[in-house]
Chains A and B, each alone.
Chain A
């Protein structure tokens, strides 16, 4: 089973558009889910939505989360903690640009790479 990819943006349009790019460029071999927007539908992120997205993209091989700005990262980390062990040990919030990171991570995942390899591929895109 391939590693799953979760895309978390403050904007649902950015998250959905990023997911569209992953689907077109990588295909359907990778479990993929996205979420964006705060609990009222404005710009922001929602821990509950992130937890649900992780469920949708769940893979026993693990899940890599790609985020945009600070609050998306913090909320994703909280979501992972609230999911708790043992699943939380198989979820990583990546330090990478959201669009490039999602496409590259999904490409790596589609070839059957491990979670560690998928995350490393995404991290190569992070500014030094």
Chain B
């Protein structure tokens, strides 16, 4: 990523994220069928399709307001537990984001948004949740890594959830049987981290 992030194209971000989620919806649902209730891909696609439908309105807003509005939309449309979690992330991101952030301001807002997700989910690192991707992504962002490096860190972090035992969320009901499957929320988080990093860093 560049140091300035001078122009964040909200429409481009929304379209890129919605395209990524739509392309991977079946995969996310398959992951969720293994250790959850099998609706993660459908739920995420419903949420991001709703964002896409409002791309014009979102793009017309200042960045902080667009993020808050997008978060609210996800909360209202996703339905599963991922709605409030991803929605909280975007609302918190918008709350702490300047209208024209440089990289350090973006990283700081990102870090606080990750903390907001942890508080919302009453979870922490190592419990086989989306936090297991968001924390490494936060650290890579803060460390000044390139977009490609941040995307690779997120992918590796999602892979690293495979041997974990789920301690939060629906998969925790399975106990040891959750071991050996990638966490669906980690996968979707990694996909979105990659999309945002590549869009902003391109």
Contacts and interface: CB of A to CB of B under 8 A. Distances in A.
A74 B170 contact: no
A126 interface: no
B64 interface: no
B39 A74 contact: no
B184 to A, nearest CB: 13
Given A47-B75, A47-B83, A77-B84, A40 B46 contact: yes
B37 interface: yes
A42 B78 CA distance: 11
A48 B46 contact: no
A75 B83 CA distance: 8
A46 to B, nearest CB: 6
A47 B170 CA distance: 19
Interface residues of B, number: 20
B88 interface: yes
Contacts of B39: 38, 42-44
Interface residues of A, number: 18
A111 interface: no
Interface in A67-100: 69-71, 74-75, 77-78, 82
Nearest to B74: A47
Contacts, number: 54
A44 B43 contact: yes
A42 to B, nearest CB: 7
B158 interface: no
A27 interface: no
B121 interface: yes
Interface string B120-148: 11000000000000000000000000000
A39 B79 contact: yes
Nearest to B82: A71
A83 to B, nearest CB: 13
26 contacts: A38-B43, A38-B79, A39-B77, A39-B79, A40-B79, A43-B37, A44-B39, A44-B43, A44-B79, A44-B80, A45-B79, A47-B75, A47-B76, A70-B81, A71-B79, A71-B170, A74-B84, A74-B85, A75-B75, A75-B84, A77-B120, A78-B75, A78-B84, A78-B87, A78-B120, A82-B75
